[in-house]
A = this chain, B = another copy of it.
Amino acid sequence: MEKRYLLAPGPTPVSPRALLNMAEPIIHHRGPEFSNILSEIREGLKYLFQTKNEVLIFSSTGTGAMEGAVTNMLSKGDKALVVNGGKFGERWGDICKAYGVETVLIDVTWGEAADPNIIKKTLDSDSSIKAVLTQACETSTGVGHPIKEIADIVKDKENTILIVDAISAMGAIDLPVDKWKLDVVVAGSQKAMMLPPGIAFASVSDKAWRFAEDSNLPKYYFNFKKELNSINKNQTAYTSAVSLLIGLAESLKQIKSEGLENIYKRHERLAKATRAAIKGLGLQLYAPKSPSNAITAILAPNGINGSDVVKVMREKYKVTIAGGQSQAKGKIFRIAHMGYIDQFDIITAISALEMTLNELGYHVELGKGAKTALEVLNG
């Protein structure tokens, strides 16, 4: 029998109801019925992002909206501070480079979080830095960067905005966009928003819209002002990804119904159980000091390749988790607990991991990790 479990950091499982809604016959994206759906979606996105501003919608994956954040906010030759502590921090740097934005890289050891003091010092010493680019959750390392602390530094700087890649954080971790004054927050459909990949989002603060006025970088498909004009009319500038947006309407309903506070507590509880189970098995966390509640990165035990853990779990136990990327390849494996994931998914993943480790020659007592997780979950 082929029964599969998905605990990868995107795509993540989609609820059966959203899947079925997306399987309904296609409707036209310029008609009144779809306009009503987009109107609901706008409200749902404002709730999720905790913002009064419009959240822009793009037919693309998250990277497209990241590119848009750079090209719509900055100008050629502008300087941006990049928190460079993983594959997605690197991506911010690559996007800047592609568009002629100068970067000041704050190199952070993989597995560690950015130090707000260094960011403050750098910004204080160079007033020409126009933007701080960071991840809320650096998916490649499982680290949660201190977004509130960084935001507190940036919010007082009139000439600097904070751009946050929250692709794997939005819906998993509390990120009150307006309260914390996060200027641009990018998200994607296929993580804690519980949808297939293919739509991306960006919230834009009033301060950021002023930056958009001055931006001279070239852009066409990812044009924030054009999308703002369209979303105000319950449309997207180009053809809407109709089926995915119909799924989004459903997932936003589920998010509203569970409630943000409960959602963040659930992610925290699942993350704590996962971390406890891992430690209970004698393994080490890759990001012990500042783990994100969206994903747990684990150091492969001595002599075992992290990629083999992933492979055996997938092939023998039908449980899909993720390996390490770039410099962490082979060294770590990652269990995501974001989105449509509950406590028994964690027990499943830990149970499969226990069997896998034994198979790979790293002896663990079967049931020990699961027991530790259950104790946290039941606590």
- Identify the A interface with B (CB < 8 A): 4, 6, 8, 10-14, 19-20, 22-31, 59-64, 67, 94-95, 98-100, 188, 190, 196-199, 217-222, 238-244, 314, 320, 322
Do A238 and B61 touch across chains, with their CB atoms under 8 A apart? yes
Please give, as numbers and ranges, the residues of chain B lying within 8 Å of A10 by CB-CB distance. 239
Do A198 and B241 touch across chains, with their CB atoms under 8 A apart? yes
Please give, as numbers and ranges, the residues of chain B lying within 8 Å of A219 by CB-CB distance. 98
User: Can you tell how many copies of this chain the complex includes?
Assistant: 2
A-B residue pairs, 4 tightest by C-beta: A196-B243, A198-B241, A23-B23, A19-B23
| A190, B217: Cα distance in complex, Å | 30
Identify A59's interface contact among B60, B240, B320, B322, CB under 8 A.
B60
Please give, as numbers and ranges, the residues of chain B lying within 8 Å of A221 by CB-CB distance. 60, 63-64, 67, 222
Do B6 and A239 touch across chains, with their CB atoms under 8 A apart? no
Q: Closest CB-CB distance, A214 to chain B, in whole Å?
A: 17
Do A197 and B29 touch across chains, with their CB atoms under 8 A apart? yes
Query: Quick one: closest B residue to A94, CB to CB?
Result: B220
Q: A100-B218, A218-B98, A241-B196 are in contact. Are A320 and B28 (CB under 8 A)?
A: yes
Q: Closest CB-CB distance, A63 to chain B, in whole Å?
A: 5
Please give, as numbers and ranges, the residues of chain B lying within 8 Å of A26 by CB-CB distance. 6, 11-14, 190, 196
Do A23 and B25 touch across chains, with their CB atoms under 8 A apart? no
| A29, B64: Cα distance in complex, Å | 17
Do B6 and A220 touch across chains, with their CB atoms under 8 A apart? no
Please give, as numbers and ranges, the residues of chain B lying within 8 Å of A188 by CB-CB distance. 239
Query: Quick one: closest B residue to A21, CB to CB?
Result: B23
Listed by A's residue number, 12 A-B pairs whose Cβ atoms lie within 8 Å are A6-B28, A11-B29, A22-B23, A22-B243, A23-B23, A26-B196, A28-B322, A59-B59, A59-B61, A100-B218, A196-B241, A198-B244
Identify A11's interface contact among B22, B98, B242, B320, CB under 8 A.
B242
| A220, B10: Cα distance in complex, Å | 21
Do A240 and B14 touch across chains, with their CB atoms under 8 A apart? no
Please give, as numbers and ranges, the residues of chain B lying within 8 Å of A6 by CB-CB distance. 25-28
Q: A6-B25, A196-B244 are in contact. Are A220 and B61 (CB under 8 A)?
A: no
Q: Closest CB-CB distance, A33 to chain B, in whole Å?
A: 9
| A22, B14: Cα distance in complex, Å | 11
Please give, as numbers and ranges, the residues of chain B lying within 8 Å of A30 by CB-CB distance. 322
Query: Quick one: closest B residue to A18, CB to CB?
Result: B23
| A8, B27: Cα distance in complex, Å | 9
Q: Closest CB-CB distance, A230 to chain B, in whole Å?
A: 13
Q: Given A98-B220, A218-B218, A243-B244, output 6 extra A-B contacts at Cβ < 8 Å.
A: A11-B239, A19-B24, A59-B60, A62-B239, A190-B242, A244-B244
